[in-house]
Amino acid sequence: MEAARPPSTAGRFVVVGGGIAGVTCAEQLAIQFPSEDILLITARPVIKAVTNFKQCILTGDGSQHVYEKLCLCAGAKPKLICEGNPYVLGIRDTDSAQEFQKQLTKAKRIMIIGNGGIALELVYEIEGCEVIWAIKDKAIGNTFFDAGAAEFLTSKLIAEKPEARMAHKRTRYTTEGRKKEAQTKSGAGNLGSALGPDWHEGLNLKGTKEFSHKVHIETMCEVKKIYLQEEFRISKKKSLPFPRDRCNQSVTTDKEAWPVYVELTNEKTYGCDFIVSATGVTPNTEPFLCGNNFDLGEDGGLKVDAQMHTSVSDVYAAGDICTASWPPSPFWQQMRLWTQARQMGWYAAKCMAAASLGESIDLDFSFELFAHVTKFFNYKVVLLGKYNAQGLGSDHELMLRCTKGQEYVKVVMQNGQMMGAVLIGETDLEETFEHLILNQTDLSSYGDLLDPNIDLEDYFD
């Protein structure tokens, strides 16, 4: 029987990547050019939204897709502390989250390395399993918070979680895309789309025990070495590299034989069932670099200018794969987040459309102000502008308001103007603060902006 010839297509616009950036880009192109076929190529057979585009899987089978303008939205992959170790898990897509859930159901103790979004969410959500959380910093959540906000949140981590929360946990998927992605497995090594907000809602994050939280935090340390059980046993016998007095109490007295042991740079060693490496992401550029002269950012992403255009002619990029390289607004910075990936995908499509008509467009308004809304430890969290005084040097002031267990408000001020804010809890201040930052209102004559007796919303209406 004759083998089927690889398909060959020609189209004006091709988008690579079926995550939020790619799908939004393709959708927007389809809206702008309803009579054109928009080709969306993804490493997975499932994309995240309703599709009236030609979906295709790039299998390296030689199929060719000719384009006039191409947008690369291939996302990022977890940057693991150690590649190829079966006890080190990263979480990115449905498959990796399910693998994590499966391992957790058998676990008594796990280690979480990293101090960003995934770690923050996991340490709070995991129940019935001891968690040793190792962070490089003095305080938790360095990618989002300063030490004050971290302290506010830490008390929630120590407290017991309400029973009701535990009763609600069961395996379910919140979106059709995720459900389908779980059912449709493609070749090993293929990346799925990043899970995004509410990713753990459908997962049963419960270990083998019957308590809610048991989190021990090791600060200011990194992983020095990982030992499998047998390696650990041998090294202990030889007293190398684990002289007894260098070992953590819990290891020397620990009768449990753990599958894996982690030696930290603070000289402590912990045994555990497995390790979650929640240590950030690396832009997924590798498949596209061979033979192409892309300029790369310091973080390894494809550099894009204010038109989302890479350094290669007619090639655009959006989402986690790219590094924004235009001079940013004073209140915006790139972070690899779902909202930014969506905004970039949408705006890249606008830029591609304009360029194909020989025009260019102004940078979209969404890149004026950094705004991120999320939930940590069951608190609503809103981050605005230079929320951690990023890049402001020492020439700034902070205003704080904190009610334990209820709200934490931090405002970053410079020359009497608001530059950023962290709002934790139901503060209702986000809209007012957004305006104050964007308008750069002179607030120097208003005294204590955070005085709870002043209705700011009313004041600045």
Ligand X SMILES: NC(=O)C1=CN([C@@H]2O[C@H](COP(=O)(O)OP(=O)(O)OC[C@H]3O[C@@H](n4cnc5c(N)ncnc54)[C@H](OP(=O)(O)O)[C@@H]3O)[C@@H](O)[C@H]2O)C=CC1
| Minimum separation from the CB atom of position 117 to ligand X (A) | 3
Residue 319: contacted member of ligand FAD, ligand X, none (CB under 5 to 8 Å, by partner type): ligand FAD
CB 240 to ligand FAD: min, Å: 38
Does residue 28 bind ligand X (CB under 6 A)?
Answer: no
CB of 374: closest distance to ligand X in angstroms?
4
Closest to ligand FAD by CB, 269 vs 310, is 310
* CB-nearer residue toward ligand FAD: 124 or 242: 124
Residue number with CB closer to ligand X (150 or 456)? 150
Pick what 74 binds: ligand X, ligand FAD, none; C-beta below 5 to 8 Å, kind-dependent.
Answer: ligand FAD
CB of 81 to ligand FAD, least distance (A): 16
Tokens of 37: 């076929």
Which residues share a beta bridge with 271?
261
- Looking at the Cβ atoms of 17 and 271, the one nearer to ligand FAD is 17
**116 sits near ligand X (criterion: CB under 6 A):** yes
Q: Which residues contact 128 (CB under 8 A, 6 or more apart)?
A: 206, 207, 208, 209, 210, 211, 212
Q: How far is the CB of 43 from ligand FAD (least distance, A)?
A: 4
Shortest separation between residue 405's beta carbon and ligand FAD, angstroms: 23
Residue from 94, 115, 334, 388 touching ligand X (CB under 6 A): that is 115
Characterise 400 by phi-psi region: left (phi > 0), alpha (psi -120 to 50), beta (else).
beta
424's CB contacts (< 8 A; 6+ apart) are 149, 152, 153, 376, 379, 380, 381, 382, 407, 408, 409
From the list ligand X, ligand FAD, none, partner contacted by residue 19 (C-beta under 5 to 8 A by kind): ligand FAD
Q: How many Å apart are CA 352 and CA 13, to the nearest integer?
A: 8
How is residue 59 written in tokens? 């299998």
Phi, psi of 88, deg, nearest 5? -110, 110
Interior angle at CA 149, CA 148 and CA 152, nearest 5: 90
How buried is 242 (Cβ within 10 angstroms: 0-12 exposed, 13-18 middle, 19+ buried)?
Answer: buried
In the list 24, 142, 248, 325, the residue contacting ligand X (rule: CB under 6 A) is 142
Nearest by Cα to 117 from 144, 95, 77: 144
CB of 252 to ligand FAD, least distance (A): 35
Per the CB < 8 A criterion, the answer to whether 131 and 298 are in contact is no
Distance CA 106, CA 92 (A): 21
Shorter beta-carbon distance to ligand FAD: residue 224 or 372: 372
CB 406 within 8 A of CB 445: no
Interface positions with ligand FAD (CB under 6 A): 16-22, 41-44, 58, 73-76, 91-92, 117-118, 191-197, 199, 284, 287, 319-320, 336-339, 341, 374
Q: Considering beta carbons, is residue 202 or 319 the nearer one to ligand FAD?
A: 319
* Residue 154, H or E segment: helix 147-158
Q: Which is nearer to ligand FAD, 251 or 341 (CB)?
A: 341
Q: Is the peptide bond before 241 cis (omega within 30 degrees of 0)?
A: yes
Identified binder of ligand X from the candidate list 46, 71, 81, 140, rule CB under 6 A:
81
In angstroms, what is the minimal distance from the CB of 61 to ligand FAD? 13
| Closer residue to ligand FAD in complex, CB, 251/318 | 318
Structure tokens of 254?
């620990």
Stretch that binds ligand X, among 252-260, 286-294, 331-339, 347-355 (CB under 6 A): 331-339
Chain residues that interact with ligand X, rule: CB under 6 A: 81, 113-119, 121, 136, 142-143, 222, 278-281, 335-337, 374
